[in-house]
Amino acid sequence: AQSVTQLDSQVPVFEEAPVELRCNYSSSVSVYLFWYVQYPNQGLQLLLKYLSGSTLVKGINGFEAEFNKSQTSFHLRKPSVHISDTAEYFCAVSPSGGYNKLIFGAGTRLAVHP
């Protein structure tokens, strides 16, 4: 069965510092990979997605992620974070290779401090 592991439940970082949020998945078939962001008491917003092609994917708000098939990872990075990036970040995989029935990780809480 497919699964998603987000290795850090919380990541504290200072403003303007770089950040990496880690995500590993398990799947025996081709997958689509996603990162979503959730601000307090709101729904989830798509940051970026990997479907195929270039393994480096750029998303909104200056975030990017790199798909590494050999390590089954899809880590999210940003070179310089802002206070407004404080939120919960979810990695997700679509085991069927489509958009249906995404499997989510447990989330990583990013806390950006001044």
Partner 1 sequence: SQTIHQWPATLVQPVGSPLSLECTVEGTSNPNLYWYRQAAGRGLQLLFYSVGIGQISSEVPQNLSASRPQDRQFILSSKKLLLSDSGFYLCACSTGELFFGEGSRLTVL
Interacting residues toward partner 1 by CB under 8 A? 6, 34, 36, 41-46, 49, 90, 99-107
| Close Cβ partners of 57 (under 8 Å, ≥ 6 residues apart) | 48, 49, 50, 64, 65, 66, 67
DSSP-derived 3-state class of residue 50: strand
Least distance in angstroms from the C-beta of 105 to partner 1: 6
Toward partner 1, which CB reaches closer, 42 or 80? 42
Toward partner 1, which CB reaches closer, 41 or 54? 41
Token pair listed for 86? 């404080």
Least distance in angstroms from the C-beta of 32 to partner 1: 10
Toward partner 1, which CB reaches closer, 67 or 105? 105
Least distance in angstroms from the C-beta of 104 to partner 1: 4
Phi, psi (5° rounding) for residue 22? -95, 145
Least distance in angstroms from the C-beta of 99 to partner 1: 5
Which residue matches tokens 């880690």? 22
How far is residue 58's CA from residue 47's CA, in Å, rounded to a whole number? 9
Toward partner 1, which CB reaches closer, 49 or 77? 49
